[in-house]
Amino acid sequence: MQPLRGRHVLLGISAGIAAYKAAELARLLVREGAEVQAVMTRSAAEFIAPMTLQALTGRPVRDSLFDPQHEAAMGHIELARWADVVVIAPATADVIAQLAAGSAPDLLSTLCLATEAPVLVAPAMNQAMWRHPATQANIGVLAGRGVDILGPGDGEQACGDTGPGRMLEPTVILAAIEQRFVQGRLIGKRVVVTAGPTREAIDPVRFVANRSSGKMGFALASVLAAEGAEVVLVAGPVALSTPRGVKRIDVENALQMHRAVFDALAGCDLFVACAAVADFRPVDVAERKIKKTDEVVTLQLKRNPDILADVAARPDRPFCVGFAAETHDLEDYAESKRRAKGLDMIAANLVGASQGFETDDNALLVIWEGGKVALPTQNKSQLAVELVKLIADRFDAQTATQDS
Ligand code: CTP
C-alpha cells in the first residue's frame, strides 16, 4: 500500500519551534513516493533552513508571492492547482487566524485560498494560545469548512508549559495524509482481527501454546487496512511487525484475547478470527516455578471461552469469519464448525507436517452459506488478498440483502 505514490503534497511550514519536525515529515512523504513542494512563511526560516527542505524534497522552497523567477516557472495559482493536498505543519495561531479569516497576506495563505485540494492543519503553539477563545473560534471555523485539524498533542512544551499545543509526530501526520488517499472496498468499515497463538501459563516460566506464527492473521490485517478498513489487530505473542495503519493490541492468553476483542467490538462490521486460541488453560497457575521433584506431574486443564462463538452469538454481531485447521475430512469438519458457531464464512486449511503453521505458504477452502471456493497454495500475503476479496464480496452481498 503506497497511497501517496505520485501525489502532489504542498507542505506549508509556519514559524513555530516544531518547524524542525517538518523536515522529518518531508522525508517521510518523499519516502512514500509523494512529490513535495515546501512553502514557508517568511519567519519560518528563523526556525529551519530552507536548504534543509530543498535537500529533502528536491525542490527549491517557495516563500514569496512576488518572486519573479518562481512565479514565471509555476505561478501561485498553478501551484494551488498542482496540489493534491495541502498540509500545514506546524500551523501557528497566526496562520490559523489567517485561514479562518480568508486573508491572504503571503504565499501560503494565498495558496490555501486558491486551492481546491483538501487542507490539513497540524497546530503547534503554546497551550494558552491554543486555549484562547480566538484560536478556538478559528479552529471551529476551519473544522466547519472541512479542514482536517490534526491534534494538537498534549504534553511538555518548548516554552516550559505543559498542556495542549504540541504538534503531532510526523508519522501520525503522515498516516492522516495517507488516509485521504486510501482507496478500497472497505472504507469506513471497522474490522477486528485476532492472530497468533495464545500462551496459557502453567507457572511463571512455563506455558501451554501452539505452533501458530500469526503470519496469516497479520497478512489479513494488512490487506484489510489497505482496503480502507479501520483495523484493530488483537495479537497473541508473535515475532511480527505491526502492519501499516493497523491498531495492534498485544495479549498473552485466551482470556485476555477474549476481553480485548469484546472491548474493541463497538461499531465493528467484520470480525476475522484467525488466532489459534488455546482451547484449554491450566486450572491452577502455580505461583512459583514447579520443581522437578515428582516423577509424574498431572496438569489439569479447563476449557477456554470460544471467542469467535461468543462474538457470533451477540444480537448485534458483525459479519463473522472463522478459521478451521484440520488434518483430515477438511470440508465436512469445516462446514459443521461453521454451522455450530453460526459463522458467515469459514476458511479451512489442512495442517500437518509441512502445511499450515509456521510456513509462508498455505491453501484454503473457503465456505459460506450456499457457496465455496478453493484458494490454491500460495504465499500467505497473496492468499490474504484473495481471501479479503471473498470476504468483501460476501459482506457486500449480505449488506445488500439486509438493506432490501
Ligand atoms: N476460536 C476462538 N476462540 C477459541 C477457539 C477458537 O475464537 N477459544 C476461533 C479460532 O480463531 C478459529 C476458529 O475458532 O477461527 C477455530 O475453531 P475451533 O473449533 O477451535 O477449531 P479447531 O481448533 O480446529 O477445533 P478442534 O480442535 O475442535 O478441531
Q: Indicate if 18 and 146 belong to the same structural domain.
A: yes
Q: Indicate if 220 and 76 belong to the same structural domain.
A: no
Q: Which of 68, 17, 57 is nearest to 34 (CA)?
A: 57
Q: Indicate if 213 and 109 belong to the same structural domain.
A: no
Tens place of pLDDT for every residue, the chain, 404 residues? 688 999 999 999 999 999 999 999 999 999 999 999 999 999 999 999 999 999 999 999 999 988 888 888 788 999 999 999 999 999 999 999 999 999 999 999 999 999 999 999 999 999 999 999 999 999 999 999 999 999 999 998 888 889 999 999 999 999 999 988 988 999 989 999 999 999 999 999 999 999 899 999 999 999 999 899 999 999 999 999 999 889 999 999 999 999 999 999 999 999 999 999 999 999 999 999 999 998 998 999 999 999 999 999 999 999 999 999 888 899 999 999 999 999 999 999 988 756 656 678 889 999 999 999 999 999 999 999 999 999 999 999 988 888 77
- For the chain, count helices (H), then strands (E): 14, 19
Q: What is the pLDDT of residue 354?
A: 60
Distance CA 111, CA 119 (A): 10
Q: What is the pLDDT of residue 355?
A: 62
CATH of the domain at 336: 3.40.50.10300
Q: For residue 305, is it within any domain?
A: yes
Known active-site residue 159 = yes
Q: Which of 216, 221, 214 is nearest to 247 (CA)?
A: 221
Q: Indicate if 269 and 141 belong to the same structural domain.
A: no
Ligand 1 pocket check for 322: Cβ under 6 Å:
yes
Ligand 1 pocket check for 139: Cβ under 6 Å:
no
Q: Indicate if 225 and 366 belong to the same structural domain.
A: yes
H or E segment at 234?
strand 230-235
In which residue are the cell numbers 495559482 written?
Answer: 77
Q: Indicate if 344 and 318 belong to the same structural domain.
A: yes
Q: Which domain holds residue 63?
A: 8-179
Q: How many A from CA of 324 to the centre of ligand 1? A: 6
8 A C-beta contact, residue 213 and residue 188: no
Ligand 1 pocket check for 194: Cβ under 6 Å:
yes
Q: What is the pLDDT of residue 306?
A: 98
Q: How many A from CA of 276 to the centre of ligand 1? A: 7
Q: For residue 56, is it within any domain?
A: yes
Q: Indicate if 333 and 370 belong to the same structural domain.
A: yes
Alpha helices in 120-206 (DSSP H): 127-131, 133-144, 170-181
Q: For residue 318, is it within any domain?
A: yes
Q: What is the pLDDT of residue 333?
A: 95
pTM of the model: 0.72
Q: What is the pLDDT of residue 74?
A: 81
**At which of 146, 179, 212 does a domain end?**
179
CATH of the domain at 75: 3.40.50.1950
Distance CA 130, CA 16 (A): 13
8 A C-beta contact, residue 76 and residue 33: no
Q: How many A from CA of 369 to the centre of ligand 1? A: 19
Q: Are strands 280-282 and 319-326 parallel, antiparallel or unpaired?
A: unpaired
**At which of 147, 179, 211 does a domain end?**
179
Q: Indicate if 162 and 194 belong to the same structural domain.
A: no
Distance CA 19, CA 90 (A): 6
H or E segment at 96?
helix 93-101
3-state SS assignment for residue 350: strand
Q: Which residues of 14-81 form beta strands (DSSP E)?
A: 35-40
Ligand 1 pocket check for 307: Cβ under 6 Å:
yes
Q: Indicate if 136 and 245 belong to the same structural domain.
A: no
**At which of 154, 179, 204 does a domain end?**
179
Distance CA 149, CA 344 (A): 38
Atom in ligand 1 nearest the alpha carbon of residue 340: 19
Q: Indicate if 158 and 220 belong to the same structural domain.
A: no
Q: What is the pLDDT of residue 357?
A: 61
- Which amino acid appears at position 9 of this protein? V
Q: Indicate if 99 and 224 belong to the same structural domain.
A: no
Q: For residue 2, is it within any domain?
A: no
* Of 159, 268, 274, 320, catalytic: 159
Distance CA 193, CA 272 (A): 5
Q: For residue 197, is it within any domain?
A: yes
What distance, in Å, lies between the first and last C-alpha atoms of the chain?
34
Q: For residue 1, is it within any domain?
A: no
Work out the number of other CB atoms within 10 angstroms of the CB of residue 389: 15
8 A C-beta contact, residue 30 and residue 57: yes
Ligand 1 pocket check for 273: Cβ under 6 Å:
yes
Ligand 1 pocket: which of 277, 321, 335 to mutate (most atoms within 8 A of CB): 277
Ligand 1 pocket check for 275: Cβ under 6 Å:
yes
8 A C-beta contact, residue 331 and residue 365: yes
Q: For residue 184, is it within any domain?
A: no
Provide the domain count of the chain.
2
Ligand 1 pocket check for 127: Cβ under 6 Å:
no
The DSSP-derived string for 223-280 is HHHHTT-EEEEEE-S---PPPTTEEEEE--SHHHHHHHHHHT-TT--EEEE--B--SE
The DSSP-derived string for 341-354 is HT-SEEEEEE-SSS
Atom in ligand 1 nearest the alpha carbon of residue 326: 24
Q: For residue 325, is it within any domain?
A: yes
- Which amino acid appears at position 350 of this protein? L
Ligand 1 pocket: which of 253, 255, 302, 306 to mutate (most atoms within 8 A of CB): 306
Ligand 1 pocket: which of 281, 317, 323, 364 to mutate (most atoms within 8 A of CB): 323
Ligand 1 pocket check for 177: Cβ under 6 Å:
no
Work out the number of other CB atoms within 10 angstroms of the CB of residue 273: 28
Atom in ligand 1 nearest the alpha carbon of residue 304: 8
Ligand 1 pocket check for 306: Cβ under 6 Å:
yes
